[in-house]
Structure 1
Amino acid sequence: MKHLILVGACYLDTILTVPHFPNEDSKLRATAVQVRRGGNCPNSLEVLQQLVSAGPYELQLGLHLVSCLPDARAASTRKIMSSFGTRPGSAICFDHCLYREGREEAASSYIIRSSETGSRTIVNFNSLPEMSVGEFVRIADVFTEHGNECWWHFEGRIPETTLRCIRHLRSSMPGSTISVEIEKPGREGLEALAAEADVVFYSRSWAEVRKRIRQPGSLSEERGSIDQGVGAGALSPSSGEYIHCSAISPGETVEVVDTIGAGDTFIAGMLYGLHIEALSREARLEFAVGLATKKIQREGFAGLVHTSTLKPATSF
């Protein structure tokens, strides 16, 4: 069996929906409040769990999360684990998470979502000690004998530590595949991570600031609907070939309900597609964009994948 190991932070998100973004030092009543598990890699894993269980392509894939969590007995930890639910043949392995003994509170993310513009403003708080290189090395050593069957995906945070982790994998498991998400253009050290990875997922904000790749649109457009041209692109460094997939067909519009986790859904779709050897690059991109487009039309991720509603990509 192949193994997909996602390394990144896990949060409990508190989402406040407001009529418009509040002015500083003002008072505003929220129209809705929701608390759910978040974090880039955990979100992607929730979608991958659905894909492995009920996606249009059969795939045997072990799913693993590497994240710092509160004490294993803490209520917040139990809430995080139960949020993934159970699906036949697609259980997520939490054995390699780092449980911080005596800590009760999970990392928190407070999200203000404006109904007026669709924008979201996020404030994070995390008092949990971050993963050290030594801790990661001990985790990675468990997978050494499966090196050629492992795909490691990293959220691009704490670049110095992440870079050392990636280089350890390169020396100890040269046959493994490594991908990394590059999201925040102001974070130093991300270019070094991208240089070490086999697959890089760039955010729209990174592309716009760095001007390194063409990215005409994003699936998290901050307005009430998305239009033609919005989607995602893929660039092959070896050939220089660039392809783009629009989220919708000409003349079609899609109403945006919830953009939180759209990028995480896209990454999940691509990681899934990249494990399907029969798919072309165009087909993988089409599939991931279609999945992310479906996600922004619903709250959360529940029921996102179903064989009757999610069709295989048409390009082969």
Structure 2
Amino acid sequence: MKKLVCVGACYLDTILDVPHYPGEDSKLRATNLGVRRGGNCPNTLEVLQQLLGERGDHYVKPYLISCLPSADAPATATVMGSFGHESVVDFTKCIYRADHTEPASSYIIRSEATGSRTLVNYNNLPEMTIDEFVAAANDVGDNAWFHFEGRIPETTLQCIRYLRQSFPKTRVSVEVEKPGRSGLEDLAAEADVVFYSRSWAESKRYQNAQQCLSAQSGVARRASLLCCTWGSDGASCLSVPNEEAVSLPATLPGQTISVVDTVGAGDTFIAGMLFGLLCHHEDWDTEKKVQFAVQLATRKVQQDGFDGVGAGAM
């Protein structure tokens, strides 16, 4: 059995739908309010869990390493319950903060006029330390795939280097997502697979996904695969060893795309790619993996949340 360990923050999202984005010092009535669990890695694991269920076996064992409130806090129960009663995600490697009862929180304002989303995060939980990661990683052992959100780059870099030294068979993927966060390219240089966001690429003045990947191939020197999502233009991937480039738009055969909720689209793409890399390493080529991940993310943006995104995707 393969092991996939996702390392990143877990949030409770409060989502407000509004007719248009409010101006400063103004009042506006929301048309809808929703609360759900969020966070890049938990979102990815929720979708991946559905895909593994569709596959009908236990070929991959998924783990989450995230800082959570105390183990008996209601917020912690909400997080775990969000994966369903028959969840296959292992939470035993999570780091529980005994003196905290409140989760990391994200407040999302979605404008019906433009389809844009604006996020404000609040996280009072102490971040994971390298010693806490080492203890969790040692429990998981060798021959695992570790996927890092790419937050706190200094600590994440220490984590990756520990894995390289202690568990040489480990594979590592990282997200390079948040513009202005220093140290992300240092993580890319140490990873086997890198996922770039459009917002980060545009902050570096890349005009499109292909330009980003071409330039970053000189930075991510040990990577075998680079991926970059680009909204309605879908995603591009570059297989570094043979310089094979694949770009596919966000389409579904025979369907007109109607965007409902873009929150978590990138996380869904990553779930699709990790599923292809772990479960179809030999029978899917790069184009097939990218096509599957793009179509999965396209399915997601047409609905609220993640329920059933993986159902019927195979």
How high is the TM-score relative to the length of structure 1?
0.89
Check 1:94–1:250 CA distance in 2 against 1; reply closer, same or farther (3 A cut). closer
Q: Distance in 2 between matches of 1:68 and 1:11?
A: 10
State the 1:246 CA deviation: 1.2
- Partner in structure 2 of residue 259 of structure 1: 262
**Which residue of structure 2 aligns with residue 103 of structure 1?**
100
Is residue 2:156 matched to residue 1:162?
yes
Q: How does 1:280-291 map to 2 (within 5 A)?
A: 280-291=285-296
Aligned pair 1:272/2:275, yes or no? yes
| Aligned residue in 2 for 1:206 | 200
In the alignment, which of 170, 173, 192 is matched to residue 167 of structure 2?
173
Retained in 2: the 8 A contact 1:19–1:116?
yes
- Answer whether contact 1:220 1:263 (CA < 8 A) is retained: no
Report the secondary structure of 2:106's partner residue. strand
C-alpha RMSD of matched pairs (Å): 2.0
For 1:214 and 1:117, how far apart are their aligned partners in 2?
Answer: 22
Quickly say closer, same or farther: Cα 1:59–1:210, change in 2 above 3 A: farther
Question: Structure 2 CA distance, aligned partners of 1:220 and 1:233?
Answer: 8
- Deviation per CA, 1:58-97, whole angstroms, max 9, x where unpaired? 661101000000000000000110000034xx61100000
Contact kept in structure 1, 2:209 and 2:230, CA below 8 Å: no
Give the secondary-structure state (helix, strand or coil) at the position aligned to 2:209.
coil
Q: What TM-score does the superposition give when structure 2 sets the normalisation length?
A: 0.90
Count residues in correspondence.
296
Distance in 2, matches of 1:209 and 1:215, equals 12
Matched-pair contact (CA < 8 Å) for 2:239–2:286: no
Cα pair distance change 1:250/1:137, threshold 3 Å: closer
1:129-183 CA-partner distances (Å, limit 9, x unpaired): 1000010011111122xx12x0000001100000000000000001110000100
Distance 1:206 1:129, change over 3 A: same
Contact 1:214 1:233 in 2 (8 A): no
1:136 matched to 2:133:
yes
The one of 300, 304, 316 equivalent to 2:305 is: 300
Which residue identity is paired with 2:48?
L
Secondary structure, counterpart of 1:93 in structure 2: coil
Structure 1: runs of 5+ lacking an equivalent? 312-316
2:44 counterpart residue number: 44
Alpha carbons 2:252, 2:298 under 8 Å: kept:
no
AA of the residue aligned to 1:260: V
